[in-house]
Chain A
Amino acid sequence: MAVTAPVDDRPRAADVHRVIAPAFDPEFYRAIYTDLPPDMGPLWHYRMAGWQEGRDPAPWFSVEGYLTAHPDIAAAGVEPFWHFLRHGRHEGRDIVPSRHAAAYFAQVGWTPEPWSLEGFAAARGAADGQRRRRVSAPPLTALERAAVEAEFDSAFYLALNPDVAASGMDPVDHFVRTGWLEDRDPNARFSVLDYLDNNPDVAAANINPFAHYLTAGRAEGRSPRHNLGFRYDVIARLKPVEARIADAVTASARLRVDPPGRLLIALGALGDLHMTLSHDNYVEHSGGLQACVRREAEQFARRGVAHLHIYPAKPWPVVRASGEAGPLGVLLNGRRLGVFAPDAVANALRAATSGAGRRSFAVHSLLGHEPDATADILNAAGLSEGFFWLHDFASLCAGFHLLRNDVEDCAAPPADSAACAVCAYGATRARHVEAHRRLFERLAITVVAPSQTTLEFWRAHGDLPARAAVVLPHARLEAGRPARRSRTPRPFRLAYLGMPTPLKGWPVFRDLAQRFEHDPRYEFLHLGGAPDPSAPAAFHKVVVTADRPRAMQETLDELEADAALIWPLCRETFSFTAYEAAAAGAAVLTGPDSGNVAAFAADPAVGRVLADEQALNAAFDTGEVLALGRARRKAASYTLAYSGMTADLVS
């Protein structure tokens, strides 16, 4: 388990403008809303008043429809078009077209020009400097059209392009007329962008690349997409750490802090108190670490101990240096008290804890915190001894996943190694290690590792002056019983659990599913919050919430998955998904660099550790993996018993 990327839900005006401007359709807006003041731009009007009056920004998007379908967005008071473009489309949220769309199209006749997503795509491309200047698509011949229709995947296209789905337009038509000009792909196996990059002759001819591939390119041996592997894309998109830090500095400096007196009043006089620090607001964000802090808070609450959580009010990619502004968010028993300067937090705590009481603390992540300010705050509350959790390896490197350039486990080599020299995180590694060293020098720290393998690795690759170290797993399997398994023969079911991200190994699953898509021996399942049609896998929506903490395990069990591919690129300190899979009776299939997952799956009763992605493919090729079928394995299912986190360590 590791820190998940923090998300700031509150949009800034500049961000709203940047995100919606390219997708906003001014012609549509002016044509439909004839009452606009003549001297006011349509986008300006929409942003300032229009959306709150239920006016739609483009023919394919209904403000009212979006807010009705998603009451949480309506309740948050967030501008819906921005929300959809920034978050909603990635979360698989539905949209409906404007009720004015039909009238508008009838009025203007259909032409590509009103489709503002062209502008959107152009702006997106311009940002990465790769956009070619293509403005119109020549018509296809009947032969080309038939070839395109034969291999076009409408479901794929509509799933990836909800705007097209909402418009009701025929997806092939859309692709042929403008879609390819916007780098939209016709199926999961063909990349418009790659094909045009690899074939400058096709790009120069301004012809439909998919049609070219089907009618000529394929026979000429041209590739439908680059064969550089998903890691090439990850490297190409990697944002320099220095730029990420600069963004955090700017965002933090812009924050307005609340008056210190407010915190003083809100805290009152605290008796028994447990304090936690992490990289974000665990109430607002979900993820493994956040669930751990939530559980820890619940355990202390049961004992009648108050819980105070401190986090950087703006997300940070690294620990904060002393000169960098870092307003802190404060939660008391899950309730947000506001945003305060670190010294204001220390002063308020000093006053609030002047009375007697049991006190304890746990640092779950130092991201966004400055070590001396952190020690000052804890000292102010009378604390000098506490716990530091190894949820990730931030105490060894700024690249806290130990994933060199976000593509390969690095195993924390010497800081002066060639690997660190070429790694995007190399230059900031010392900053991270020294910040943690400072914290460990100021406080008496007991390190808590959620797995033995994590503790051993941490000890072998660092030298922070911890007072003691313990292992406390987040969960364990209890009370085994035979797992559900049907008697009728069926294909082997391999599941992927959770968000389809490279970090968690989605591309490995996708490539495997694509390769064995038509092999009758296998079925591929994806259980998560949002589908990704690039993998031919049956999607099952599963959202783990506080009310349904075992949703993943239950669904996996119902679907009788034979195995789960838990193939994170990074070394996990503790993988909840691996434990959920095992608890549901699915074998855990993983690679050697997955940390706690590999240690867990090394037990033949749990799963299998394969040498690399080549070995994974070979296991499916030969059918060796079929030995992990529920029936052949006589699979067992278990109850997952969670720890009480730091509460288990504090008497």
Chain B
Amino acid sequence: MKILCYSSFTFSYLNRARVLFQTLREHHPDWELAALITDRPPEGFNFDPAAEPFDRLVWASDLNIPNFQSWLFKHDVVEVCTAVKGPFIHQACDWGFDAVIYMDPDTAALASLSPLEGWLEDHDILLTPHLVDANDDDAAIRDNDLSASRTGIFNLGFVAIRTTGEGARFAKWWNDRLLSYCYDDMPNGMFVDQRWCDHVPALFDRLKIIRDPGYNVASWNLSTRKVTVEKNGTISVNGAPLRFWHFTKLGAVGDAMTKRYAGTNFPVYEIWAWYKRQIQAATDPTIPDRWWAFGAYDDGRPIAKRERVLYRERIDLQQAFPNPFASGRGSFQEWLEHEGA
């Protein structure tokens, strides 16, 4: 099976994407790996795609999204990095691959993912739920079950599709929704690309929900997953081989949630310690912390979230300012200063 696996990120997450692609290359040298980047390299950073551990580079600006600058401005960094996943997967269906897999940059393969290829023989869409076992502890229900109810039953740090049939139909539908409705707006039923996929079991056939606990292990499901390292060198999760981990929220918040639910299950800390070492080795110090080229107006002033929301809610502003990033006379920025407040 000819597989394309891609990840969507900005240069702030290049270190994580490098680790993901390195682990994928190790276990799946035959997969084509693609980086989807919604950013521009920071000054002082020498970006050499040929030296990176991926095979194909796609800039979000090359996805032919109509009115790209205006569209991009409506999103913050998380919203846009998830929104571009839709156009990419839809367009990739025509690139000659049998299947396309998306993985978040902060995931990493710890073993072969080859069972996915077997499942894709019989199914057109694969999704991993946040939880495959229910919690019964109050704190865990609040932290994990209710959180998944708000943000989406499936974690869209992973999705795999066949490029034909229901897979292609899903890709077109997801593309359409994400181009218009990929916002962090929970009161209105949206949590970027994720809540949409709650509809997938109802809208599409040939879906497999992966309930194997070795896939998409993360702090939100550690309360019901026990990790062990066997003497033969296999790492198991509830007895199944560990396939890939989702290292969400690298830092104090992630550490706190991991500790809360891993408890004395020490192999979890070993895996996290390994990941942190890999990230450190993959980090380029010339990329400024939290860098994102589209986080500021042309004059360098940061763009506030409320300014993006205002712009996306006002069609008149979108028409008046097709390039809202501009600074100076006649710009959206100038309009904000005089009238937007």
0/1 string, A411-439, CB within 8 A of B gives 1: 10110011111111000000000000000
Is A405's CB under 8 angstroms from B270's CB? Answer: yes
Q: Which residues of the partner chain B approach A37 to less than 8 Å between Cβ atoms?
A: none
Known: A229-B264, A405-B270. A411 touches B235 (CB 8 A): no
Q: Which residues of the partner chain A approach B233 to less than 8 Å between Cβ atoms?
A: 410, 413-414, 417-420
What is the bound-complex CA distance between A424 and B278, given in angstroms?
11
Is A231's CB under 8 angstroms from B266's CB? Answer: yes
Interface of A is mostly: loop
Give the residue of A229, A240, A407 whose beta carbon is less than 8 angstroms from that of B270: A407
Q: Which residues of the partner chain B approach A417 to less than 8 Å between Cβ atoms?
A: 232-234
Is A422's CB under 8 angstroms from B259's CB? Answer: no
Q: Which residues of the partner chain A approach B45 to less than 8 Å between Cβ atoms?
A: none
Is A418's CB under 8 angstroms from B264's CB? Answer: no
| Nearest residue, chain B, Cβ from A406 | B270
Give the residue of B230, B266, B277 whose beta carbon is less than 8 angstroms from that of A240: B277
Q: Which residues of the partner chain B approach A409 to less than 8 Å between Cβ atoms?
A: 231
Give the residue of B111, B242, B266 whose beta carbon is less than 8 angstroms from that of A235: B266
Shortest CB–CB separation between residue B162 and chain A, in angstroms? 28
What is the bound-complex CA distance between A525 and B205, given in angstroms?
67
The count of residues in chain A whose C-beta lies closer than 8 Å to any C-beta of chain B is 27
Is B277's CB under 8 angstroms from A424's CB? Answer: yes
The count of residues in chain B whose C-beta lies closer than 8 Å to any C-beta of chain A is 23
Known: A418-B110, A418-B242. A232 touches B231 (CB 8 A): no
- Taking the complex as formed, is B269 at the interface, i.e. its CB lies under 8 A from any CB of chain A? yes
Known: A419-B235, A422-B110. A236 touches B269 (CB 8 A): yes
Shortest CB–CB separation between residue B207 and chain A, in angstroms? 29
- Taking the complex as formed, is A298 at the interface, i.e. its CB lies under 8 A from any CB of chain B? no
- Taking the complex as formed, is A226 at the interface, i.e. its CB lies under 8 A from any CB of chain B? yes
Q: Which residues of the partner chain B approach A414 to less than 8 Å between Cβ atoms?
A: 232-233
- Taking the complex as formed, is A408 at the interface, i.e. its CB lies under 8 A from any CB of chain B? yes
Is B235's CB under 8 angstroms from A232's CB? Answer: no
Q: Which residues of the partner chain B approach A421 to less than 8 Å between Cβ atoms?
A: 110, 274
Shortest CB–CB separation between residue A503 and chain B, in angstroms? 15
Q: Which residues of the partner chain A approach B282 to less than 8 Å between Cβ atoms?
A: none
Is A422's CB under 8 angstroms from B263's CB? Answer: no
Is B231's CB under 8 angstroms from A410's CB? Answer: yes
For residues 208 through 249 of chain A, which have their beta carbon under 8 Å from a beta carbon of chain B? 226-229, 231-232, 235-236, 238, 240
0/1 string, B221-257, CB within 8 A of A gives 1: 0000000011111110000011000000000000000
Known: A410-B229, A418-B111, A418-B242. A404 touches B234 (CB 8 A): no
Q: Which residues of the partner chain B approach A418 to less than 8 Å between Cβ atoms?
A: 110-111, 229, 233-235, 241-242
- Taking the complex as formed, is B273 at the interface, i.e. its CB lies under 8 A from any CB of chain A? yes
Give the residue of A228, A238, A424 whose beta carbon is less than 8 angstroms from that of B259: A228
Q: Which residues of the partner chain A approach B262 to less than 8 Å between Cβ atoms?
A: 228
What is the bound-complex CA distance between A407 and B267, given in angstroms?
9
Q: Which residues of the partner chain A approach B232 to less than 8 Å between Cβ atoms?
A: 411, 413-414, 417
Shortest CB–CB separation between residue B270 and chain A, in angstroms? 5
What is the bound-complex CA distance between A227 and B261, given in angstroms?
11
Is B273's CB under 8 angstroms from A405's CB? Answer: yes
| Nearest residue, chain A, Cβ from B264 | A229
| Nearest residue, chain A, Cβ from B260 | A198
What is the bound-complex CA distance between A407 and B274, given in angstroms?
14
- Taking the complex as formed, is B293 at the interface, i.e. its CB lies under 8 A from any CB of chain A? no
Known: A405-B273, A413-B231, A419-B229. A227 touches B264 (CB 8 A): yes
0/1 string, B296-324, CB within 8 A of A gives 1: 00000000000000000000000000000
What is the bound-complex CA distance between A229 and B269, given in angstroms?
11
| Nearest residue, chain A, Cβ from B234 | A418
Shortest CB–CB separation between residue A220 and chain B, in angstroms? 13
What is the bound-complex CA distance between A423 and B267, given in angstroms?
10
0/1 string, A324-365, CB within 8 A of B gives 1: 000000000000000000000000000000000000000000
Shortest CB–CB separation between residue A413 and chain B, in angstroms? 3
- Taking the complex as formed, is B210 at the interface, i.e. its CB lies under 8 A from any CB of chain A? no
Known: A227-B264, A417-B234. A235 touches B229 (CB 8 A): no
What is the bound-complex CA distance between A404 and B266, given in angstroms?
11
What is the bound-complex CA distance between A229 and B259, given in angstroms?
11
Known: A404-B229, A424-B277. A232 touches B266 (CB 8 A): yes
Is A408's CB under 8 angstroms from B229's CB? Answer: yes
0/1 string, A255-299, CB within 8 A of B gives 1: 000000000000000000000000000000000000000000000
Known: A226-B259, A231-B266, A236-B269. A422 touches B231 (CB 8 A): no
Is A422's CB under 8 angstroms from B270's CB? Answer: yes
Q: Which residues of the partner chain B approach A420 to less than 8 Å between Cβ atoms?
A: 233
Q: Which residues of the partner chain B approach A424 to less than 8 Å between Cβ atoms?
A: 273-274, 277
Give the residue of A232, A410, A419 whose beta carbon is less than 8 angstroms from that of B269: A232
Q: Which residues of the partner chain B approach A238 to less than 8 Å between Cβ atoms?
A: 273
- Taking the complex as formed, is B159 at the interface, i.e. its CB lies under 8 A from any CB of chain A? no
Shortest CB–CB separation between residue A512 and chain B, in angstroms? 15
Shortest CB–CB separation between residue A396 and chain B, in angstroms? 13
Shortest CB–CB separation between residue A225 and chain B, in angstroms? 12
What is the bound-complex CA distance between A411 and B231, given in angstroms?
6
Q: Which residues of the partner chain B approach A228 to less than 8 Å between Cβ atoms?
A: 259, 262-264, 266, 269
Shortest CB–CB separation between residue B93 and chain A, in angstroms? 33
| Nearest residue, chain B, Cβ from A420 | B233
Known: A417-B234, A422-B273; 12 extra A-B contacts, CB below 8 A, are A228-B262, A228-B263, A231-B264, A232-B259, A232-B269, A236-B273, A404-B229, A408-B229, A410-B231, A418-B111, A418-B235, A423-B274
A-B contact pairs, 12 of them (CB 8 A): A231-B264, A235-B266, A235-B273, A407-B270, A408-B229, A408-B266, A413-B231, A413-B233, A418-B241, A419-B235, A422-B270, A424-B273
Closest 5 CB pairs of A and B: A417-B233, A413-B233, A229-B264, A231-B266, A422-B274
Which A residues fall within an 8 A CB radius of B? 226-229, 231-232, 235-236, 238, 240, 404-405, 407-411, 413-414, 417-424
